[in-house]
Structure 1
Amino acid sequence: MGADHEGGVRRRPVRAVAYAACGVVLLAGCASMPDSGDLRGVESTPRQETQVRVFAMPPREDARPGEIVQGFLEALTSDDPQYDTARRYLTADAARQWRPERLTTVLADGPSIEPDKLPGGQEDTDSLSYTLAGSQVATVDAHQAYAPADGPYSKRLHLTRDARTNQWRISVPPQGVVMGKSDFQRNYTSVNKYYFASNTSVGASGQPVAVADPVFVRKGVDPMTQTVRSLLGGPTSRLSPVVRSSFPTGTALRKGTASLTPDDQNKLTVPLNDRASRVGTAKCTEMATQLLLTLRNLTPTVDAVELLGAGDKRLCDLTEERAEAAAWHAAAKSPEYVYFLDSRHRLVRMAAGSPGTSAVAVPGALGESGKELRSVAVSRDERTAAGVDTAGKSLYVTALTSGGSLGEPVVTSQGTTKDDRLTTPSWDARGDLWVADRNPHAPRLILLEQGRGEPITVQTPELPGRIKDVRVAADGVRIALVVEKDGKQSLLVGRVEREDKSAGHPVSVLELRSATPELEKVTTMSWAGDSRLVVVGQEEGGLQQMRYVQVDGSTPDGPTPAALSGVKAITASEDDRLPLVAYSEDGIVRLPSGAQWQKVVKEGSAPVYPG
């Protein structure tokens, strides 16, 4: 983070004083600013361990304008809950009007600071301006939703000298908060909030389907309470059209609730305002399920939640075991098998997570008949499979039961070559089957409800190119598409909206956004969690690489998968205890947790977990 800025000045490291006993770091702020010399950019604070809290120092008496600017920017990277120290660098009016929670702008490096030239060389003035500049990486909006960004950042910041105190203060601060990427990584963590897919249920008992809604919260500022407040505030704008919350509108933490902490039995008690006081048992169980799934994503130490209404009336409580029965949650549904095509291009399977290497043909036509396949997908309940023939022309759907016939294809492509025909199919938890026809003369994204019936052409008004690959999320409300245009491939994630069939266009994919803006080629991808994908691709001029990405385009914490050359296909389960499985130049290989890639079989292709 110590790179020089063009047209600016060389950056200096921020001096800090650490108090190990209480886990606090004080940013030196303006106290570390020189009284003379060149104005310097704000060096991003070195990353700290999560248990270390960082606080900024207030402006010193008679601080020079440059010191005020740099001290303010350093205060933005601290763990001050309400940015009270940062406000001390502002005028009284500016401090009242400034809303840091509305926007966080992330730059590749900390912002450079350039003083604006004074008219006519005037130096004795009571008003000054500085320009903050940098290269944008991302933004986090008022709903805490992350979005990749690019292009230059340039904002003007104004200072005035108080006539009474003779102290310099910022009268026009930048909108929201601005910081470098390393400071963002130290200050923020991603957490999945959970809601339920609208008008969707699965299974004989009609379980609601849990949907992950990733947001960023500040690590050092009571992240548990932040996360609960964010959950109660509702889903992000991107998911709000397709998910619902079981919390009644207006539900919030009871007034006066400062912080939430689990007890010594790992149970978190959450006091709610009176908006939640009249909910029934079933609705309260759904509310508690949302809370528990969300909190366990943040910290696995929370095993149970209890909801309290007005007057500390107990509304309901829920344990982890009961939450699994209350909602369908992909990460909690460990598949029984992993599937692939053997040397005869028939569908075989082996126990998921098994250390063995023996695979057997699946029961039914895709394993027992002589039909050769190019790609396959197995339904989430592992009762049905879909396969595309080796020509890529025909899609078949059949039950995984002995003696079943293959039947007629449910979709046929008229493309002239294999690469202009059908993609690998994909199933969601509803039992709906998705596939794309790459025929350049009639490209379309297709949905087969319950894997049968008349194919529905999905509307994709924002699609910037031709679909190369399709993977629908288990929840059925998000879909990942590899889209090709001008020889480059992008991984886009969109929202699936389902309308009344009488409207004429019952299904649409909207708000397609890039999850890998830095890649110019995407070879293969798979869902690898509730809001995470594993992707194989290349940056411009680079070598093939494998990485995890979040659906919002951010990079998740944790290690990347071990390198593997010549990857042609990859599959992962939402249950992260199961290994990645890939088709590479070495055949079918797998990557158990904490190990290296292991060969399964030399002759095989198209590996898939259910989905």
Structure 2
Amino acid sequence: MCAGGAAVLLAGCASMPDSGDLRDVESTPRQDAQVRVFALPPSDDAQPSEIMQGFLEALTSDDPDYETARKYLTGDALAEWRPGASTTVLAEGPNRLSVPSRTREEGGDVVFRLTGQTVARVDAQNAYEPAEGSYSETVHLTRLEDSKQWRIDRLPQGVVMGRSDFTRTYVSVNKYYFTSSTQLGQLGTVADPIYVRRQVHPVTQMVESLLQGPTRWLDPVARTSFPSGTALRKGVEPLTPDDQNKLTVPLNDKADHVTRGKCNEMAAQLLFTLRDLMPTGVDEVELQGSGGAQLCRLDEDRADAVAAHGAGNTPEFEYFIADDDRLVRMPVRGSDPVPEAVPGALGDGDMSFRSAAVARDEDRAAGVSLDGSDLYVGSLASGSSLGEPVVHSEGQTEGDRLTTPSWDGQDGLWVADRDPDDPRLLMLPDGAGEPVEVTTPELDGRIEAVRVAADGVRIALIVQQADGKRSSLLIGRIERESGADGATDVSIVDLRSVAPRLEEVRAMSWAGDGRLVVVGRESGGVQQMRYVQVDGSMPGGPELAALTGVQEIAASEDESLPLVAHSEDGIVRLSSGSQWQQVVEDGTAPVYPG
């Protein structure tokens, strides 16, 4: 049944002449998210141009298995076409050009070339990746001998559509796996974003994707509690919660012999994955074995006891450096926060700081000295003192010394040394001891900012190119390996750009499980602030309120908390649905714990 009780039919047979000039395939007008869109099958007398038009429109419809699109195909194309192989997203709908054919005069075949400018691709695992370049593929049509109707008999694998159709048809959702780390004695989770078709059994799509395991980029640092080969039981109907928001998931025999503890972990993965997919969420999951017997049941409260999901504990305070170069804090809630000095030497000692990072438990903080040369770690307890610096930079200028530090979800402390003669990315396990030099084999440029996700397996970096003309926002995967001497080797691999259109990235912060808030500028443009997904896509929703002269930005992985920024108006913050409000006129380096 159609969501919202309505369906929209796409006209599949527009009247277009079969000529050789360039034609645009117009993107489908954007419909309400609750309205399902279906295409029309080809008419008996449809000409090649109409077949081509109707097929492209059918690719953007909500047919569960592209049933209507398949009616435009014949022969090998019908047997071998795999729409799930990939989705190519173009800036506009694909242009189509009729290509001259030697047998065209005999009415035997027609060839169209589809062209456009590629902006992204979604692979067979539903993983999104920004892309650039020209798209050019051919589609071959033939006239059937018996019916004399035109059909497509050769075409590229996958699906192609314009960006507006993609936005309407697909939705970005996080599926969740476990990391090797623990947080507060619990398993830690990591978000794995994918795109699913918005109106085509999205719950079933998400469950099937979760069971198939992490996407290739995340797989080396994530694990699933579902046994290998676990899938939905054959013949199962599309999954949907009942009127009590309980979802029953029938599995095949690969899961029949799991322990209760392992089953609870599996159910927790499902609950975390489905939490944001539906307006009302899923309150409870029941897993069934191949014979229909219940394996386990888990509700949301118990799921949060199984794993530390997302940011874990909600921060109590926001922090920044006050005009006296000391660390201060203010409550995260309340419309009129009053900053106060943090307890301990970072707030009331003799040392001056230019930036700081607060551990996620808010018991400790790290501060970079005013000249950027030294990193200190101290307790946020009254009367505590600072010891010797844990990291020292030999950079000749303040801009060539230490970046703002960052804590991961395992109490590791990260900082980059920008000394041109000895650039390093360093990690201090538990925020103390001898720093571990992190290897970055794919890095091209100098690290200007470091932010580690709460999961401890993803890191965001602002990297300035060697020529100094461009700075990029990159996401890398953190891999740890125990060496022969018992030490842990740490490396950042598979770096990928997540804001490729920004020529200059000035500031960024994690702003949820799978997104960041970024301050930057496109080529020839002005400074802007936006959210970006970790896969490089742009999330939906309203744009951020404008703010000028932003130097630094801070967000919490708890998306309900306000943004805090250092702008030309001082320290300001933005709560959901409101405008930016000034906190203090003088202050710098705002941060949340992390």
TM-score greater than 0.5 by the shorter chain: yes
Pairwise CA distance, 1:70: 1.2
Q: 2:482 aligns with which of 489, 500, 504?
A: 500
1:153-191 deviation per Cα after TM superposition (whole angstroms, max 9, x unaligned): 001111112222222211111220000000000000000
**2:563 equivalent in structure 1:** 580
The CA RMSD measured in Å over matched residues stands at 1.6
Counterpart check, 1:66 vs 2:46: no
Alignment of 1:586-597 (within 5 A): 586-597=569-580
Q: Does 1:605 align with 2:549?
A: no
**1:514-569: CA deviation from partner (whole Å, max 9, x where unpaired):** 11010001110000000000000101111111000000000011112111001111
Aligned with 2:130 (options 130, 140, 148): 148
Distance of 1:118 and 1:275 partners within structure 2: 53
Q: CA deviation at 1:123?
A: 2.4
1:527 aligns with 2:510: yes
Residues 448 and 454 in structure 1, CA contact (< 8 A), matched pair in contact too: yes
Query: Which SS does the other structure have where 1:284 is aligned?
Result: helix
| Partner SS state of residue 56, structure 2 | helix
Q: What is the aligned partner in structure 1 of residue 350 from structure 2?
A: 370
Quote the offset at 1:332 in angstroms.
Answer: 4.6
Aligned to 1:161: 143
Q: Which runs of 5+ in 1 are unaligned?
A: 1-18
> TM-score under structure 1 normalisation?
0.94
| 1:255 has 2:234 as partner | yes
| 8 Å CA contact 1:493, 1:515 repeated in 2 | yes
State the SS of the aligned residue for 2:275: helix
- Matched ranges for 1:35-54 at <5 A: 40-54=23-37
**Distance in 2 (alpha carbons) for counterparts of 1:258 and 1:110:** 34
What's the CA shift for 1:604? 1.2
1:216 correspondence with 2:199: no
Structure 1 residue 479 corresponds to structure 2 residue 462: no
Q: Could you state the TM-score of these two structures normalised by the residue count of structure 2? A: 0.97
Deviation at 1:258, TM superposition (A): 2.1
User: Is 2:177–2:223's contact at 8 Å kept on the other side of the alignment?
Assistant: yes
Matched, 1:410 2:390: yes
Confirm whether residue 202 of structure 1 aligns to residue 183 of structure 2: yes
Correspondences of 1:276-425 after superposition (within 5 Å): 276-299=255-278, 300-425=280-405
2-side partners of 1:476 and 1:331: how far apart?
Answer: 11
Query: Percent identity over the alignment?
Result: 60
Alignment partners' CA distance in 2, 1:499 and 1:33: 62
Contact 1:39 1:66 in 2 (8 A): no
Gaps of 5+ in 2: none
Following superposition of structure 1 onto structure 2, how do residues 60-139 of structure 1 map, counting pairs within 5 Å? 60-119=43-102, 123-139=105-121
For 2:483 and 2:323, locate their aligned partners in 1 and report how far apart those are by CA, in whole Å: 43
Query: For 1:482 and 1:87, how far apart are their aligned partners in 2?
Result: 45
Corresponding position of 2:409: 429
Map of 2:38 onto structure 1: 55
Taking the aligned partners of 2:25 and 2:554, their CA distance within structure 1 comes to 42
Corresponding letter in the other structure for 2:153: S
Q: Deviations for 1:51-110, whole angstroms, at most 9, x for unmatched residues?
A: 111111111113211111111111101101111111111113211100000110000001
Deviation at 1:331, TM superposition (A): 4.0
CA shift for structure 1 position 36: 6.3
Q: Distance in 2 between matches of 1:375 and 1:185?
A: 39
Aligned residue for 1:13? none
Indicate the SS of the match to 1:310. Answer: coil
Deviation string, structure 1 residues 217-257 (Cα, Å, up to 9, x no partner): 00010111111111111110000000000111111111111
Which one of the candidate residues 494, 512, 524 is aligned to 1:541?
524
* Alignment coverage as a number of residue pairs: 588
Q: Which amino acid aligns with 2:423?
A: P
- Which of 421, 428, 443 lines up with 1:441 in the alignment? 421
In structure 1, what is the equivalent of residue 246 of structure 2?
Answer: 267
How far apart, CA to CA, are the structure 2 residues paired with 1:46 and 1:317? 43
Select between 134-143 and 160-169 the one with higher mean Cα deviation.
160-169
Q: Distance in 2 between matches of 1:283 and 1:266?
A: 23
Query: For 2:138 and 2:189, how far apart are their aligned partners in 1?
Result: 44
User: Using the alignment, how far apart are the partners of 1:282 and 1:226 within structure 2?
Assistant: 25
Secondary structure of 1:548's partner?
strand
**Which residue identity does 2:173 align to in structure 1?**
V
Once the two structures are superposed, the pairs formed by residues 230-249 of structure 1 within 5 Å of their partners are 230-249=209-228
User: Are the counterparts in 2 of residues 526 and 571 from structure 1 also a CA contact under 8 Å?
Assistant: yes
8 Å CA contact retained: 2:481, 2:490? yes
CA contact (8 A) 1:357 1:601 kept: no
Between 105-114 and 263-272, the greater mean CA deviation after superposition:
263-272
* Whole-angstrom distance in 2 between the partners of 1:590 and 1:401: 26
2:483 counterpart letter in structure 1: K
Displacement of 1:583: 0.8
- Equivalents in 2 of 1:20, 1:605: separation in Å? 49
Counterparts of 1:21 and 1:446 in 2: how far apart (Å)? 53
Amino acid in the other structure paired with 2:108:
D
1:308 alignment partner AA? Q
